[in-house]
């Protein structure tokens, strides 16, 4: 039940937003990250995120300083070994354990910060997505917006979690790699500042050649990794999409086990699941081929890294410019610098996976927040707020693919306490009329003026929605259960023939499975009695009741809810004229006749 007063955006806008988001998601990673970070920093977890990020920066700087100290330790340690100086060797060994102890503490603290950051990031992202998704009518429109509206649960859970985990790991790794490179490039520059190459009897100075060698080595690997592994982004995105379709098929089967079993449809459902599984396996095989090709680059550079530092530092040692310990220190510094630079090579596969999840999450969020305006049909219904106590329907025609449907009366006024029955002719869209009255289907012409600040409860066609929770929560939905006294809840159940459920008011069960369809319908009308809305709009809800239950509902609507205005779209045989004071008919609207073209000789 909700009051009227929200702005109507159309389904086509959601569809357009989805398409725009899909295209926009591919346009730039920095724009996507900027949008998400601005939303996160403005959320309830923003302050915690800032503190954790600052802590991560401090601990990474501290770790980098410790690694510089450890790198400098290499020279006296290996020099002591080369001199066979046992005393100095033991002293340096003690220094090593002190450095290692400090680095161990820093590493443990960094792990705690990283894992805490993952948790806060996920909390912020999921809260943001759910907040936009649960805006009035937003989820409904997005569900019909094509691929972007498929599997929103996966985008908000698995995709969001993976994106947050990978973002944190990659972000921490990139920050650490950047600080390490800046730190160790200074060491490498100092060691090779006066290096020169002799060619044809002439010495050519190459100051800081070890820095340039590290940049060239890592840059080559990064370019090769990007060239070979760039297809992994699309392959990962396709895999997540196929996984979502498989999971949705399994969930759908689980929700409809009774119908499948009664129809002996297990074999058919098995074929459907196997088809989706085949799509997942095909996507996985494409992904495996991409990973295999990328491994040629990453593994190749990994093996050459074993000897590359020594080969780069060897000219300094062979020319006598550094000692053996100095060469080991230079080799260790080169290893740290080039590992920082080849971060892209080592993580390209993970980056591709992260990029795929970011594309899905950012695209989904953009579809939720976009305000694209594309008209699905030629015109839209106008919704306005009017005075309390009446609802006006003027010139309403509901448009859909088969054509337009209209009420047989052009101007309808439903006053407080009146009961109106709308009968639908064959081929008319009664459910679309119901959705148009609720604001879910705004395509057509005419104007609907609804009472301002008066609660309207909608009962759609079919089995009513029973949320998870206690029976008391189901009765009060979407209001808070503590708004209603115990005796009021009991009376609502007893009045609709559900007195046996009174002891279960505080039981938390799957009520949509525990109760029969008839009991669920009676429970829905118990909710109406409990909440006593000013207006009740139903789509064939009375048609779903058996004779005894129908009599109870009519009695409740006639006596205890006599002040509630009712609009029911259904059949006359359900209640005759006992409940309704006005009967309208939904009929097919005459097709529009095109205006003749001036000067044309056609009739």
Residue burial 373-402, b: 16+ Cβ < 10 Å; e: rest: eeeebeebbbbeeeeeebbbbeebbbbeee
3-state secondary structure of 464: coil
Q: How far from the centroid of its chain's Cα atoms is residue 20's Cα? A: 16
How far is residue 262 from each of residues 258, 259, 424, 520, 540, measured CA to CA in Å?
Answer: 6, 5, 32, 21, 26
Number of helices and strands in the chain (H, E): 20, 15
**Distance of alpha carbon 569 from alpha carbon 540, whole angstroms:** 6
What's the confidence (pLDDT) of residue 470?
92
pLDDT, residue 5, reads 41
- Contact between 144 and 318 under an 8 Å Cβ cutoff? The reply is no
Residues 273, 407: Cα–Cα separation, whole Å:
44
Q: What is the pLDDT of residue 581?
A: 86
Q: Is the pTM of this model over 0.85?
A: no
Distance CA 124, CA 40 (A): 6
Residue 568 has what pLDDT?
Answer: 93
Distance CA 48, CA 478 (A): 32
Residue 300 Cα to chain centre, angstroms: 37
- What would you measure as the largest C-alpha separation in the chain, in angstroms? 114
* Residue found under tokens 């009017």: 386
List alpha helices for 256-265, DSSP H.
257-262
Give the count of alpha carbons within 13 A of 118, CB side only: 15
Q: Tell me the C-alpha distance between 153 and 142, whole Å.
A: 13
State the average pLDDT for the chain: 79
Q: Give the model's pLDDT for residue 88.
A: 86
Answer whether 518's CB lies under 8 Å from 546's CB.
Answer: yes
Which residues is 419 bridged to in the sheet?
A: 566
Q: How far apart are CA 120 and CA 122, in angstroms?
A: 5
State the pLDDT at residue 543: 83
Count of other CB atoms within 10 angstroms of residue 255: 12
Ranges of residues in the chain with a pLDDT under 50 are 1-26, 372-375, 593-603
């Amino acid at each position: 039940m909700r009051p009227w007063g929200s702005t109507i955006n159309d389904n086509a806008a959601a569809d357009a937003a989805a398409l725009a988001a899909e295209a926009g998601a591919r346009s730039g990673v920095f724009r996507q990250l900027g949008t998400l970070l601005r939303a996160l920093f403005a959320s309830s977890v923003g302050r915690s995120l800032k503190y954790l990020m600052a802590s991560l920066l401090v601990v990474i700087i501290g770790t980098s300083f410790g690694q510089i100290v450890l790198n400098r330790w290499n020279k006296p340690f290996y020099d002591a070994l080369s001199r066979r100086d046992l005393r100095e060797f033991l002293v340096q060994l003690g220094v090593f354990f002190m450095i290692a102890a400090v680095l161990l503490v820093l590493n443990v603290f960094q792990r705690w910060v990283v894992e805490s950051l993952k948790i806060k990031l996920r909390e912020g992202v999921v809260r943001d997505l759910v907040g936009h998704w649960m805006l009035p009518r937003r989820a409904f429109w997005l569900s019909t917006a094509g691929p972007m509206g498929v599997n929103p649960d996966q985008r908000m859970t698995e995709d969001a979690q993976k994106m947050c985990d990978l973002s944190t790991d990659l972000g921490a790794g990139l920050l650490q790699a950047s600080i390490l490179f800046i730190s160790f490039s200074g060491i490498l520059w100092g060691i090779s500042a006066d290096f020169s190459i002799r060619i044809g009897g002439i010495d050519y100075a190459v100051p800081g050649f070890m820095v340039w060698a590290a940049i060239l080595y890592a840059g080559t690997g990064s370019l090769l990794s990007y060239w070979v592994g760039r297809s992994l982004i699309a392959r990962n995105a396709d895999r997540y999409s196929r996984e979502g379709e498989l999971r949705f098929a399994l969930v759908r089967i689980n929700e409809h086990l009774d119908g499948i079993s009664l129809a002996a449809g297990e074999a058919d459902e098995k074929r459907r699941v196997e088809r989706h599984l085949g799509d997942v396996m095909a996507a996985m095989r494409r992904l495996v081929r991409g990973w295999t090709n990328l491994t040629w680059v990453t593994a190749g550079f990994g093996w050459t890294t074993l000897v590359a530092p020594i080969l780069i530092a060897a000219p300094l040692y062979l020319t006598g410019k550094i000692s053996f310990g100095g060469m080991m220190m230079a080799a260790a510094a080169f290893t740290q610098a080039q590992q920082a630079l080849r971060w892209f090579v080592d993580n390209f596969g993970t980056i591709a996976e992260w990029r795929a999840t970011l594309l899905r999450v950012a695209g989904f969020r953009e579809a939720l927040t976009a305000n694209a305006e594309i008209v699905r049909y030629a015109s839209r219904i106008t919704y306005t707020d009017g005075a309390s106590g009446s609802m006006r329907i003027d010139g309403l025609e509901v448009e859909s693919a088969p054509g337009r449907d209209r009420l047989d009366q052009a101007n309808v006024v439903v006053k407080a306490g009146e009961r109106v029955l709308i009968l639908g002719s064959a081929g008319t869209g009664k459910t679309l009329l119901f959705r148009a009255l609720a604001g879910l289907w705004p395509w057509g012409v005419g104007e609907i003026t609804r009472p301002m600040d008066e609660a309207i409860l909608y009962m759609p066609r079919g089995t009513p929605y029973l949320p998870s929770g206690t029976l008391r929560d189901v009765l009060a939905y979407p209001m808070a259960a503590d708004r209603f006294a115990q005796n009021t809840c009991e009376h609502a159940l007893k009045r609709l023939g559900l007195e046996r459920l009174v002891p279960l008011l505080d039981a938390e069960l799957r009520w949509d499975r525990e109760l029969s369809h008839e009991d669920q319908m009676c429970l829905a009308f118990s909710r109406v009695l409990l909440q006593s809305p000013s207006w009740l709009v139903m789509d064939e809800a009375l048609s779903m009741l058996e004779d005894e239950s129908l009599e109870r509902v009519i009695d409740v609507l006639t006596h205890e809810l006599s002040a509630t205005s009712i609009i029911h779209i259904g059949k006359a045989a359900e209640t005759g004229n006992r409940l309704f004071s006005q009967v309208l008919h939904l009929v097919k609207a005459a097709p529009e006749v095109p205006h003749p073209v001036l000067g044309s000789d056609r009739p």
